[in-house]
Amino acid sequence: MLPKMKIKRPISSPGNGQEAFTIVEVMVAFAVAALMIAGMVQGYSLASRRTEFATYNLAAESMALKQMELAMTASLRPDSGVDQLLSSNFTNNYDYLCMPVSETNLVSCTNYTTITTISANPTLKMIQVDTVWSFLSQAVTGTKQTFTTTVATIHAPNIGQ
């Protein structure tokens, strides 16, 4: 039979100071927690601003494509002497970005359509639509930055119309 072991003193007792954190440890833990929370808030804020910018940019691209489709419907038939695909036929278009509208996010934009002749034989024209819009880059200071979203394509004559 094994002899019983006796413990002369307890491993931890209330009076020896081993069961509590020091004030330095508590302050370090609070500092680490504060840095983590500040980092998460900053990351969320940055992700929110980037998402808002991407929404505006996508809406501007949609407006540019809308203007591009309008230009693509112009008749270009050099064999019949018909050429409606001219920059003068497309005025600068002032509009609002196609976004869900609330009280504060109404954003204006201007579409500029440029038609450039690339080749006379065969007839090729480049259609370029620039949509200019502004974004509140610094919400604290109210600073707005202007951005341009561009779409371009090459258009050949309409055949058989």
Residue 42 in this model has a pLDDT that exceeds 80: yes
Higher pLDDT, 12 or 115: 115
Residue 133 in this model has a pLDDT that exceeds 60: yes
14 lies in a domain? no
143 lies in a domain? yes
50 lies in a domain? yes
Give the Cα separation of 144 and 39 in Å (integer): 26
Residue 47 in this model has a pLDDT that exceeds 80: yes
DSSP secondary structure string, 98-120?
Answer: -S---SS---EEEEEEEEEEEET
- Please report which confidence band the pLDDT of residue 49 belongs to, taking 50, 70 and 90 as the band edges: confident
1 lies in a domain? no
Residue 3 in this model has a pLDDT that exceeds 80: no
Render pLDDT for 86-113 as a digit per residue (tens, 0 to 9).
878 888 888 888 776 666 667 888 999 9
Q: How many domains does the chain have?
A: 1
Range of the domain at 133: 23-155
pLDDT for 74:
82
- Compute CA distances 135 → 97, 104, 124, 148, whole Å: 12, 12, 35, 11
Residue 134 in this model has a pLDDT that exceeds 80: yes
2 lies in a domain? no
Q: Which residues pair with 121 in a beta bridge?
A: none
- Retrieve residue 44's tokens: 């969320």
147 lies in a domain? yes
From its phi and psi, is residue 17 left (phi > 0), alpha (psi between -120 and 50) or beta?
left
160 lies in a domain? no
4 lies in a domain? no
